[in-house]
């Protein structure tokens, strides 16, 4: 089989397994749900009861998080009585990580028995109806780097995780989306809950005005720099996925605007509105039906 230079540096199945086994040997928690906390949303992890936390730097093979607002801890614990594992801080390709490294934890989650992945992120609102603080339940995504050949599944396929050509038309679980919308209503903030299309870009710069207009014309409702690689790898290995974007800023679409996006604004909006997302996720976890089919 032909080899490219990068192949030799990819994780082997045994390395995913080694990390999974290490975690299983260090904790008695057996989570069925994994939560990835986006920028400024790490407080979700603090809600877990009976916590056991690991710094990424202490976990074999784990990459390290380098972004302010991303703590870099993997927290096991119970949320509303359900065993969960929470990534407080994720990895992004703009940090210099190849996508197979960005998505490493997802396959580890699969190997420790996780069935459902809840991914959250901070995103810029392109849909003109969206307000800062809204929560967008992701119904679909556009993998913009994928158009240019950037995909976490590139390279030899590992059949033990999933098929060579996985579908993505059903990436975001319909029942979980419905549940999230219903819970938003039940909690009395349905006016904050949207459903829309998320587009990921490589970052780290925020978008130009022309790029925002372009993305909007494609049907994008919110734009960010994460999530899609994790979702692709999660779907490849059969996890159920729910994605939610906290709209932390309105994307600049107008040449007369003086506004510019910045990371501090993103973190502040996260602080101001994270409580809604936290309430939503907490109740959702309680209601999720689990099969407990350990991989």
What is the number of the residue whose Cβ is closest to ligand HPA?
124
Which of 70, 71, 130, 244 is the catalytic position? Answer: 70
Residue 29 bears catalytic tag? no
Q: Which two tokens stand for residue 155?
A: 């390279």
Is 225 annotated as catalytic? yes
By DSSP bridging, strand 240-250 and strand 135-143 are antiparallel
CA-based R_g, the chain, Å:
18
Could you identify the residue written with the tokens 């290490």? 22
N- to C-terminal Cα distance for the chain? 29
Helix (H, G, I), strand (E, B) or coil at 196: strand
Active site residue 263: yes
Please tell me whether 92 is known to bind a ligand.
yes
Per annotation, catalytic residue among 20, 71, 122, 234 = 122
Give one word for 133, left, alpha or beta, with left for phi > 0 and alpha for psi -120 to 50: left
Is 64 an annotated catalytic residue? no
Q: Are 219 and 197 in contact (CB under 8 A)?
A: yes
CB 227 within 8 A of CB 260: no
| Cβ at position 217, least distance to ligand HPA in Å | 16
70 marked ligand binding residue: yes
55 catalytic per annotation: no
Using the minimum distance from each CB to ligand HPA, give the nearer residue, 124 or 152.
Answer: 124
Q: How far apart are CA 196 and CA 218, in angstroms?
A: 12
**141 belongs to the catalytic site:** no
Decide if 53 is catalytic: no
Which is the catalytic residue, given 15, 46, 95, 195? 95
Of the two residues 32 and 252, which places its CB atom closer to ligand HPA in the complex?
Answer: 252
Q: At what angle do helices 104-111 and 13-26 cross, to 10 degrees?
A: 60
Q: How far is the CB of 41 from ligand HPA (least distance, A)?
A: 11
Catalytic residue among 20, 136, 225, 244: 225
236 assigned to active site: no
- Least Å from the CB of residue 257 to ligand HPA: 13
User: Binding site annotation covers 122?
Assistant: yes
Nearer Cβ to ligand HPA, position 20 or 228?
228
Pick 115 or 221: Cβ nearer ligand HPA: 221
**Active-site residue, 95 included:** yes
3-state secondary structure 115-132: CEEEEEEEEEECCCCCCC
Of these residues, 20, 29, 34, 39, which one is catalytic?
39
Nearer to ligand HPA, 241 or 251 (CB): 251
Least CB distance to ligand HPA at residue 234 (A): 20
Judge whether 226 is annotated as a binding position: yes
- Write out the residues near ligand HPA by the rule CB under 6 A: 122-124, 206-207, 223-225, 248-249, 251, 261, 266
Collapsed DSSP state (helix, strand, coil) of residue 256: coil
Helices (H), 143-243: 144-147, 174-186, 209-217, 228-236
**Residues paired with 176 in a beta bridge:** none
What are the backbone dihedrals phi and psi of residue 181, each rounded to the nearest 5 degrees, phi first?
-65, -40
Binding site, annotated residues = 39, 70, 90-92, 122, 207, 226, 249
Binding site, annotated residues for a purine D-ribonucleoside = 207, 249
Q: Which residues belong to the active site? A: 39, 70, 92, 94-95, 122, 225-226, 249, 263
């Amino acid at each position: 089989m032909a080899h490219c230079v990068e192949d030799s540096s990819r994780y082997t199945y045994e390395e995913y397994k080694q990390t999974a086994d290490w975690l299983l040997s260090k904790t008695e928690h057996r989570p069925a749900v994994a939560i990835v906390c986006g920028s400024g949303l790490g407080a979700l992890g603090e809600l877990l009861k009976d916590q056991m936390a690991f710094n990424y730097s202490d976990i074999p093979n784990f990459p390290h998080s380098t972004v302010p607002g991303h703590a870099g801890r993997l927290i096991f614990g119970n949320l509303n009585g359900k065993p969960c594992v929470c990534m407080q801080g994720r990895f992004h390709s703009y940090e210099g990580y190849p996508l197979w490294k960005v998505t490493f934890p997802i396959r580890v989650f699969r190997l420790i028995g996780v069935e459902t992945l809840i991914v959250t992120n901070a995103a810029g609102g392109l849909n003109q109806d969206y307000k800062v603080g809204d929560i967008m339940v992701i119904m679909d995504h556009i993998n913009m780097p994928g158009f240019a050949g950037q995909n976490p599944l590139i390279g030899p396929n590992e059949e033990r995780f999933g098929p060579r050509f996985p579908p993505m038309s059903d990436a975001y679980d319909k029942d979980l989306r419905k549940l999230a919308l219903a819970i938003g209503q039940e909690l009395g903030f349905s006016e904050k809950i949207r459903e829309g299309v998320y587009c990921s870009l490589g970052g780290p710069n925020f978008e130009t005005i022309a790029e925002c207009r372009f993305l909007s014309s494609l049907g994008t409702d919110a734009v960010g720099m994460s999530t899609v690689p994790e979702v692709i790898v999660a779907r490849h290995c059969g996890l159920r996925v729910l994605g939610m974007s906290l709209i932390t800023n309105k994307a600049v679409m107008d040449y007369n605007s003086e506004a510019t996006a910045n990371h501090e604004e993103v973190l502040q909006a996260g602080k101001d509105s994270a409580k809604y997302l936290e309430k939503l996720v907490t109740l959702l976890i309680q209601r999720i039906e689990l099969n407990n089919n350990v991989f």
